[in-house]
Amino acid sequence: MSEFSSSNKFTSQITEFGINPSKIHRNLPVEKLVEISVQKNEGMVTSTGSLSVKTGKFTGRSPDDRFIVFDDLTHDKVHWGKVNNQLPTETFEKLSQKMKKFVEGKELFVFDGFVGADPENRQPIRIITDHAWQSLFVHQLFIRPSAAELESHKPEFTVMCINDFEAIPEIDGTTSNAFIFINLSKKLVLIGATSYAGEIKKAIFSVMNFILPSKGVFPMHCSANVGKDGDTVLFFGLSGTGKTSLSADPERMLIGDDEHGWSDKGVFNFEGGCYAKCINLKEESEPQIWNAIKTGAVLENVVIDKESLKPNFDDGSITENTRAAYPLSYIPGAVVPSIGGNPKVIIFLTADAMGVLPPVSKLSKDAAMFHFMSGYTSKLAGTERGVKEPKATFSKCFGAPFMPRPASVYAEMLGEKISKHNTAVYLINTGWSGGPYGVGKRIKIEYSRAMVTAALTGSLDIVKFSHNDIFNLDIPTECPGVPSEILEPKNTWTDRDAYDLSAKKLAQMFVDNFRKFDNISDDIRLAGPRA
């Protein structure tokens, strides 16, 4: 190793890890990482000061290429199946050695930092990449160490993401040239042949979501914010449901936009940044995200005008899954360190493309556990490879791709927390109204914001509710800032019979999906829709 910009301790850690690069950059400042990225033609600086990059053929996650090593630690703790694919230890070891050999003599970038804002529950991590812009990405997304913390840093988990390394499926035992291998025993993640930086972040989440339950901490794929009076709220929802947008509220302080833990003391963010979808981003509707796209922010796959260098957020020709990564400090009033109290309100977000779910409804504890385990939404274009239009989907715990343990483990933790802290839970549909996708219209974000505000301020505690028998949901008859006629979804459809048919179809999908869960009480099962 000819050039190291770091301590002897770090050098010996790298040697022990088993790699021998020609040059290694550790925790470079933002300006330097931007400069190197431009020099290496990895990206370009836009009119906003942000760094724009393209991620090649992978513009979203590649779930079929993700595997968890099957061994003594994981064999009876991971919920194996289509999401959590098994990988033999030998396959991992062989590819690990091959990757380490591949980076010999190459220039690498290292980020040493933390995942988890709560000092009692955080994990020291190391992320090794061969692209400067990805090192900038993780610098902005994870928790940056102080100088003293960096000096004493010893990683608990390491991610080696080598974009230029491609696997050979017939030799390496992968499904394609790309791979995401998670070894929970070795505390090592290998990522190759995909430049989509979301894979790094989600792999880290998977690790945390496996580790924390054994410590009595409930890991959650959700965003969180806090009001001036210290009232914490959680937003659960899959990509495209509005989780990031609705939690970025100018009247409240952001704790985090994607993944949190809930300990006995309260909630804490896993990250030190945000990874916001920015397709059709408008300054007037999402000013906080808009203003965060400045020097130091990373834009993924956004079309940039060649002359003005202005980002065109309305252009989805590369992908609908355009993204912006920036530190939490770019959001005015963000909570740093990103820690909050025990939540008073939980909001489940769903984007129903069938246009039949009510825009807002209140859930009992059992109904909350049912809908949490179901994790219904519509996959929106771009969030995964091959998704061109919305498609009804169920993702356990609103985050199946990152939840290695059985759904019941996480649901039980949720039920315990709701009971202990008397937390109110609401289901808000940010999807379609007046008909399905292509016929009806997307519910306005202003209305969704008003529903959230009503849930937080207690306005929904004093209104009358009606019961939707098909979905077994309690719907408020009025909500401040929302036209009453849209609260009952059937009223927004011209053809009421068509509504009933579609609603019954979705209710049946809920019932069919829930059959896959074992050892679930009748109370939880009966709290869901009725087919």
Q: Quick check: 133 pLDDT over 70?
A: yes
Dist CA 227 CA 249 (whole Å): 10
Q: Which is the catalytic residue, given 62, 158, 239, 241?
A: 239
* 243 catalytic residue (yes or no): yes
Q: Which is the catalytic residue, given 122, 153, 243, 362?
A: 243
Mean pLDDT of 338-362: 96
Mean pLDDT of 364-375: 97
Residue (of 152, 159, 235, 205) closest to 449 by Cα position: 235
Q: Among 67-71, 262-266, 398-402, which is the least confidently predicted range?
A: 398-402
Q: How much is the pLDDT for 519?
A: 82
- How does DSSP classify residue 65? G
pLDDT digits (tens, 9 = 90+) for 136-177: 999 999 999 999 999 999 999 999 999 999 999 999 999 999
Mean pLDDT of 399-425: 95
Q: Give the Cβ contact number of residue 46 at 10 Å.
A: 21
- How does DSSP classify residue 153? -
* 420 catalytic residue (yes or no): no
Q: How much is the pLDDT for 2?
A: 36
Q: How far is CA 328 from the centre of its chain?
A: 15
Q: Which is the catalytic residue, given 221, 344, 365, 405?
A: 221
SS3 98: helix
User: Which residue has tokens 């556990």?
Assistant: 369
Q: Quick check: 382 pLDDT over 80?
A: no
Dist CA 52 CA 275 (whole Å): 14
**1: pLDDT confidence band, cut at 50, 70 and 90?**
very low
**392: pLDDT confidence band, cut at 50, 70 and 90?**
confident
Q: Which is the catalytic residue, given 61, 122, 405, 417?
A: 61
Give helix 365-374 / helix 407-421 axis angle, nearest 10°.
Answer: 150
* 11 catalytic residue (yes or no): no
Decide if 332 contacts 386 (C-beta within 8 A).
no
Q: How much is the pLDDT for 245?
A: 82
Dist CA 83 CA 64 (whole Å): 8
**385: pLDDT confidence band, cut at 50, 70 and 90?**
low
Q: Give the Cβ contact number of residue 485 at 10 Å.
A: 8
pLDDT digits (tens, 9 = 90+) for 449-493: 999 999 999 999 999 999 999 999 999 999 999 999 999 999 999
Mean pLDDT of the chain: 94
Q: Which is the catalytic residue, given 65, 118, 130, 258?
A: 258
For residue 218, the cross-strand partners are 262
SS3 365: helix
For residue 486, the cross-strand partners are none
**380: pLDDT confidence band, cut at 50, 70 and 90?**
low
Dist CA 144 CA 354 (whole Å): 42
Dist CA 440 CA 431 (whole Å): 10
* 61 catalytic residue (yes or no): yes
Dist CA 70 CA 123 (whole Å): 22
What is the Cα Rg of the chain in Å? 23
Q: Quick check: 517 pLDDT over 60?
A: yes
Mean pLDDT of 107-132: 98
- As a whole-number percent, the residues of the chain with pLDDT over 70 amount to 97
Residue (of 41, 63, 60) closest to 52 by Cα position: 41
* 393 catalytic residue (yes or no): no
For residue 468, the cross-strand partners are 473
Q: Which is the catalytic residue, given 323, 396, 405, 417?
A: 323
Q: How much is the pLDDT for 386?
A: 56
Q: Quick check: 384 pLDDT over 60?
A: no
Q: Quick check: 381 pLDDT over 80?
A: no
SS3 358: coil
* 453 catalytic residue (yes or no): no
Q: How many residues can be counted in the chain?
A: 531
The CATH number of domain 344-525, selected from 3.40.1190.20, 3.40.1440.10, 2.60.130.10, 3.90.228.20: 3.90.228.20
In the chain, count H helices and then E strands: 14, 31
Taking every pair of Cα atoms in the chain, the longest distance, rounded to a whole number of angstroms, is 73
Main-chain phi, psi angles of 390, to 5 degrees: -55, 140
Give residue limits of the domains in the chain.
3-42+60-215, 344-525
**6: pLDDT confidence band, cut at 50, 70 and 90?**
low
Q: Quick check: 124 pLDDT over 50?
A: yes
User: Which residue has tokens 């130091």?
Assistant: 296
Q: Which is the catalytic residue, given 6, 59, 195, 244?
A: 244
pLDDT digits (tens, 9 = 90+) for 241-257: 988 788 878 889 999 98
**114, 328, 348 from 271: Cα distances, Å:** 8, 9, 21
Domain 3-42+60-215: CATH architecture, name and number where available: 3-Layer(aba) Sandwich (3.40)
H-only helix segments in 259-361: 287-292
Q: Which is the catalytic residue, given 66, 202, 260, 365?
A: 202
